[in-house]
Chain A
Amino acid sequence: MRSRISAAALVFALTLACSAQAENTLRVCANPNDLPFSNTKGEGFENKLAELVAQDLHQAVSYTWTNEHEHFVRKTINAGKCDVLMGVPAGFSEVDTTTPYYTSGYVFVSRKGLNLNSMRDPRLRSLRIGVHLIGDENTPPMEALARQGITQNIIGYMIYRDTQVKNHSRLIDDVAAGKVDVAAVWGPLGGYYATRAAAPLDVALITDTGRFAPAMFQYPIALGVRKGNADLRARLNEIIAHERPAIRNLLRRYGIPMVETPARAAG
């Protein structure tokens, strides 16, 4: 009578099946519907990276899929359900992190011709700006906009919901469709979906952000292991050093905007 197609139950069953064959696998926790990062079909760049790392470790990848949002880390890797997270900010305190394997930044995604990259561009006062919402905290661009008093022309997109409903593309789709003029989003999301959008879009790393500290706009991203798992971290660091060219190629294929010389390290 109440039909509930329980995707989560299916996922749970799959998870059980996977963790049963735990020996000699690289156990990864990931979101089941979170492109460009990961999905259950293995289409995300973090899926590809997990395969690459596992191959070097002579292991197979096994996944624990979790649709958690803010409690992701504590309910997954820190609950012992896996050993690796494929993408966390370097220095993220809830886990131990490896050498960063790329650095990206927040980007403006806009229709061709707008040429927008400065956080202090006066046009930001009137353009319709789409942002992702992450609970009641501000993303760095939202914080910078608010501090300039830019609040009347901001349109919010819940990032959690998008990872469940379909994917993160809705905000970028709306830029392509002209429903918003510019999206201020985390680079991997902006870059990936911009290359797949229905209209030609510009993706530009956001500049002129210095005065908005401590809001940071660029983050080196690393693999995460459970605190104290120094062994695994050392092996992963070796792989990252060794596979750097392959990883860069992978990220380029996904349209991930990369910062060549990081402005500052996170920590």
Chain B
Amino acid sequence: MKTALGKCWALSGALLAILSVRVAADDLDAMSRDDKQWIMPAKNYSANRFSGLNQINAGNAGQLRVAWTFSLGSSHGQEAAPLIVNGTMYVVGPYPNELFALDAVTGDLKWKYTPNTDPASQGEACCDVVNRGAAYDNGKIFYNTLDNHTVAVDAKTGKEVWAVKLGEISRGETMTMAPLVAKGKVLVGNSGGEMGVRGWLTALDENTGKIAWRAYSTGPDKDVLIGTRFHPFYNWEKGKDLGVKTWPPGKWKIGGGTVWGWIAFDPKLNLIYYGTGNPGPWNSNQRPGDNMWTTAVFARDVDTGQAVWADQLGPHDLWDYDEINESILLDMNIGGKQRHVLLRPGRNGFMYVIDRTNGQILSADKYDTVTSASGVNLKNGRYQPVMSLAPTLGKTVQNVCPAAPGAKDWQPTAYSPVTHLLYIPHQHLCMDFKTSEVGYIAGTPYVGATVDMYGGPGGYRGEFAAWDPLKRKKVWALKENLPVWSGTLVTAGNVAFYGTMDRWFKAVDARNGKLLYKFHAPSGFVGQPVTYQGSDGAQYVAILSGIGGWAGAVGNAEIDPRVRAGALGFNGATQDVPQYTSGGSALLVFSLPRAPSQNNGKNNAKPH
């Protein structure tokens, strides 16, 4: 780490400028340690979604009850994490992407901001018109709208401070991810890998919205921001312009690798970490080559965007395994040495432990059923696909596990420094490819492959698992009938929270998975639970209920569940969702019942 730091400082010309900007980062980093608040979707830069609050704990979580609720009014998939900053809760809805500010204790609506989101953007989103949340810094709330704007809204007044357009819906681009703010930069990326979009991550000045840098996922080094600081750990990832050379000529220009997932930040190393989406829109047999840097993890200098290392987790992706999943930053003792690692539950079903200083893959273990790869070669860092399972027109390929959404998709995990376990909400799905009957898109008939997904071995489709990263094994797991498409949260009270697509909000004992509490919500969950302490001293847990997203699109009646191959093949695996839920948009806030003494006095003025 020391050497990496030294290099970083030696190479940064404008040391003073960097130092002065660092103040903002320190503020946000410090704020994120205040467990009364939840100021970014991942809770903190390490992205562990852990809160030190313990008023709600394994001993009393069974008494949880709903404190208040709020309806966002747009019944699409509710994937956003609410933020709680200085006593106010901020929550962003799916298209049309309204932002609501609520009193975090009473639920009173303070203001609402309605962006002018272009309705045409709805037709471009591949997998429901979701939004994964907002970010906060220096009195402003930042988030993305489906039609490719990043907006900054005054956190007090709800007035728009700036709005910048970063992409084109007419090119198939949309934006759904939650930004990360670090050192005065708002980091945002695009969606739409199947639509001929070239993926990018863009850093905006938080005060003006002006683009500070943009790093493409494909193309020449100058576009990918690969320069003298780039030192990938493995030899096959070294070389000039690999983002061009690993594609047939020109195909990188619309090669996918979108950035619609999570970003973590290590303030000491000054590096951000994020993954890129699948290659597209080319069928794999029309894009021979490693298709760099799609399905890859990047480490970049937050100030300049310059890449420091990258690992391409899925060279020449065959099964749509986006690698946009979260990275959790941990310091772990591995083989007697303290290593600065990032933990990454890959879409491909492998739990990666990567040295975040240099990109070395230290281990990659299966955390769910994997038939599509034999493993990851730790000598050269290469994923080993099972080529006999490659989708081929005219050939039926069966039992590809995990299915296209991966063993885990975007839904983020949480890590507890108390139990030293990683909590993984995920799906347990396999898929078949078979040549379909005639298809028809935009005036062009063709014969393509039908993807059919179904529950993996054991017949269940989802799981909430606890993983020990040191022992590299699953400690316990709760099987769920449907994919677990919600995020999770773990607390010092040893409670982990998640929601299911069949409408159950659950609190489980983080040590052993014992169910402590469940609540039957208005609609299924694809959201992210957060926790905070109100000005009344009570600990609250908040999550959005509202089925949707890729897995849940069938649940909000957008798709005819009889068509097994709808929603890019997901319906087969989730076609019974309408038996459990329909769409919704309810924010649910839970707390423990108040002690009678507490109710006297300060809370009388605010009945709820």
B-contacting residues of A (Cβ < 8 Å)?
Answer: 1-2, 4, 6-9, 12, 31, 34, 37, 66-75, 78, 87-89, 91-94, 132-140, 142-143, 145-147, 151-156, 158-161, 163-165, 168, 186, 188-189, 213-216, 219, 221, 266-267
Contact between B443 and A188, CB atoms less than 8 A apart: yes
Contacts across chains A and B counted by CB atoms under 8 Å: 174
Which stretch, B245-253, B258-266, B358-366, B544-552, touches the partner chain A?
A: B245-253
Instruction: List 3 A-B pairs, minimum CB-CB distance, nearest first.
Output: A137-B448, A158-B196, A8-B120
Distance between Cα atoms of A146 and B559 in the complex (Å) = 32
Given contacts A4-B147, A158-B172, contact A74 B251 (CB under 8 A): no
Q: Interface centre among A68, A87, A161, by most B CB within 10 Å?
A: A161
Distance between Cα atoms of A87 and B280 in the complex (Å) = 28
Q: Could you list 27 A-B pairs, sorted by A, with CB under 8 Å?
A: A8-B118, A69-B123, A69-B441, A74-B560, A92-B438, A132-B444, A133-B196, A136-B283, A140-B446, A151-B248, A151-B287, A152-B248, A154-B251, A154-B286, A156-B281, A156-B282, A158-B196, A158-B254, A159-B441, A160-B442, A165-B170, A186-B443, A189-B443, A214-B393, A266-B437, A267-B437, A267-B438
Identify the closest chain A residue to B254 (Cβ). Answer: A156
CB proximity of B227 to chain A, nearest CB, Å: 28
Contact between A152 and B249, CB atoms less than 8 A apart: yes
Given contacts A136-B282, A138-B393, A153-B249, contact A161 B171 (CB under 8 A): yes
Contact between A161 and B172, CB atoms less than 8 A apart: yes
Given contacts A1-B163, A158-B254, A219-B445, contact A67 B123 (CB under 8 A): yes
A-contacting residues of B (Cβ < 8 Å)?
Answer: 115-116, 118-120, 123, 147, 149, 160, 163, 165, 170-172, 194-196, 248-251, 254, 280-288, 320, 393-394, 435, 437-449, 558-560, 563, 566
Distance between Cα atoms of A175 and B160 in the complex (Å) = 46
Contact between A214 and B447, CB atoms less than 8 A apart: yes
Given contacts A140-B446, A143-B393, A151-B248, contact A93 B559 (CB under 8 A): no
Contact between B116 and A134, CB atoms less than 8 A apart: no
Task: Write out the residue numbers on chain B whose beta carbons fall within 8 Å of the beta carbon of A161.
Answer: 170-172, 195-196
CB proximity of A78 to chain B, nearest CB, Å: 6
Given contacts A74-B566, A160-B172, A214-B394, contact A133 B281 (CB under 8 A): yes
Given contacts A91-B437, A133-B281, A138-B285, contact A4 B442 (CB under 8 A): no
Contact between B286 and A146, CB atoms less than 8 A apart: yes
Task: Write out the residue numbers on chain B whose beta carbons fall within 8 Å of the beta carbon of A88.
Answer: 440
Contact between B116 and A140, CB atoms less than 8 A apart: no
Which residue of B160, B165, B559 contacts A74 across the interface (Cβ within 8 Å)? B559
Which residue of A2, A9, A138, A164 contacts B165 across the interface (Cβ within 8 Å)? A2
Distance between Cα atoms of A221 and B446 in the complex (Å) = 12
Distance between Cα atoms of A206 and B171 in the complex (Å) = 29
Distance between Cα atoms of A68 and B558 in the complex (Å) = 13
Q: Interface centre among B254, B282, B287, B445, by most A CB within 10 Å?
A: B445
Task: Write out the residue numbers on chain B whose beta carbons fall within 8 Å of the beta carbon of A267.
Answer: 437-438
Contact between B444 and A186, CB atoms less than 8 A apart: yes
Given contacts A2-B115, A89-B440, A139-B444, 20 further A-B contacts (CB under 8 A): A74-B558, A89-B445, A93-B437, A135-B195, A135-B280, A136-B284, A138-B285, A140-B446, A146-B283, A151-B248, A151-B286, A151-B287, A158-B171, A159-B443, A160-B441, A161-B196, A164-B120, A215-B393, A221-B445, A267-B437
Task: Write out the residue numbers on chain B whose beta carbons fall within 8 Å of the beta carbon of A154.
Answer: 248, 251, 286
Which residue of B160, B439, B443 contacts A34 across the interface (Cβ within 8 Å)? B443
Distance between Cα atoms of A136 and B317 in the complex (Å) = 12
Task: Write out the residue numbers on chain A whose beta carbons fall within 8 Å of the beta carbon of B558.
Answer: 74-75
Distance between Cα atoms of A146 and B284 in the complex (Å) = 9
Which residue of B160, B281, B284, B559 contacts A158 across the interface (Cβ within 8 Å)? B281
Contact between A6 and B120, CB atoms less than 8 A apart: yes
Given contacts A136-B282, A188-B443, contact A155 B250 (CB under 8 A): yes
Distance between Cα atoms of A214 and B277 in the complex (Å) = 30
Given contacts A74-B563, A146-B286, A219-B438, contact A4 B123 (CB under 8 A): no
CB proximity of B170 to chain A, nearest CB, Å: 5
Contact between B435 and A214, CB atoms less than 8 A apart: yes
Contact between A266 and B119, CB atoms less than 8 A apart: no
Given contacts A133-B254, A138-B448, A153-B249, contact A92 B440 (CB under 8 A): yes
Distance between Cα atoms of A68 and B248 in the complex (Å) = 30
Task: Write out the residue numbers on chain B whose beta carbons fall within 8 Å of the beta carbon of A74.
Answer: 558-560, 563, 566
Identify the closest chain A residue to B171 (Cβ). Answer: A161
Identify the closest chain A residue to B435 (Cβ). Answer: A214
Distance between Cα atoms of A62 and B559 in the complex (Å) = 24
Contact between B447 and A7, CB atoms less than 8 A apart: no
Distance between Cα atoms of A206 and B320 in the complex (Å) = 31
Task: Write out the residue numbers on chain A whose beta carbons fall within 8 Å of the beta carbon of B448.
Answer: 137-138
CB proximity of A246 to chain B, nearest CB, Å: 22
Distance between Cα atoms of A34 and B119 in the complex (Å) = 19
Identify the closest chain B residue to A147 (Cβ). Answer: B285
Q: Interface centre among A4, A93, A213, by most B CB within 10 Å?
A: A4
CB proximity of A211 to chain B, nearest CB, Å: 11
CB proximity of A228 to chain B, nearest CB, Å: 12
Identify the closest chain B residue to A1 (Cβ). Answer: B163
CB proximity of A193 to chain B, nearest CB, Å: 12
Distance between Cα atoms of A94 and B450 in the complex (Å) = 13
Which residue of B119, B163, B442 contacts A6 across the interface (Cβ within 8 Å)? B119
CB proximity of A104 to chain B, nearest CB, Å: 9
Contact between A78 and B447, CB atoms less than 8 A apart: no
Given contacts A34-B442, A154-B248, contact A68 B123 (CB under 8 A): yes
CB proximity of B315 to chain A, nearest CB, Å: 16
Task: Write out the residue numbers on chain A whose beta carbons fall within 8 Å of the beta carbon of B320.
Answer: 136
Which residue of A12, A140, A147, A168 contacts B443 across the interface (Cβ within 8 Å)? A168
CB proximity of A94 to chain B, nearest CB, Å: 7
Distance between Cα atoms of A9 and B116 in the complex (Å) = 12
Contact between B281 and A140, CB atoms less than 8 A apart: no
Task: Write out the residue numbers on chain A whose beta carbons fall within 8 Å of the beta carbon of B149.
Answer: 2
Task: Write out the residue numbers on chain B whose beta carbons fall within 8 Å of the beta carbon of A266.
Answer: 437-438, 445
Distance between Cα atoms of A121 and B68 in the complex (Å) = 70
Which residue of B281, B394, B438, B443 contacts A135 across the interface (Cβ within 8 Å)? B281
Given contacts A2-B149, A94-B563, contact A136 B194 (CB under 8 A): yes
Identify the closest chain A residue to B557 (Cβ). Answer: A79
